[in-house]
Amino acid sequence: MTDSLFDRYYFFDPQFVNGTARFFDLITRHVPERLAILEIGAGPTNPTSSFLASLGNLTGLDVSEEVKQNCYL
């Protein structure tokens, strides 16, 4: 199921690079500096948390206990 959704909404576009790069670019262009940021579904330490923490004060929320191991929160 997931593969068919990716094919339908992402990979059909020949200009598609990857969703993470597009998200990082969007956030970099539109989020004011040193903002308070809430990452929902933060999970354990990961590149997205690292990126968001570089932009402002990051708080993470996740149902998983692994979020306690995220060094960026």
- Annotate 12-54 with DSSP letters as a single string: TSTT---HHHHHHHHHHHHSPTTEEEEEET--SS-HHHHHHHH
Q: What mean pLDDT is predicted for residues 34-59?
A: 95
* Residues near 4 by beta carbon (within 8 Å), at least 6 away in sequence: none
Q: Which amino acid is at 56?
A: G
User: How many residues does the structure list for the chain?
Assistant: 73
Q: What is this structure's pTM? A: 0.75
Give 4-27 pLDDT, tens digit per residue: 877 777 667 777 777 788 899 999
Q: Which amino acid is at 64?
A: S
SS3 44: coil
Give 60's pLDDT tier (boundaries 50, 70, 90).
Answer: very high
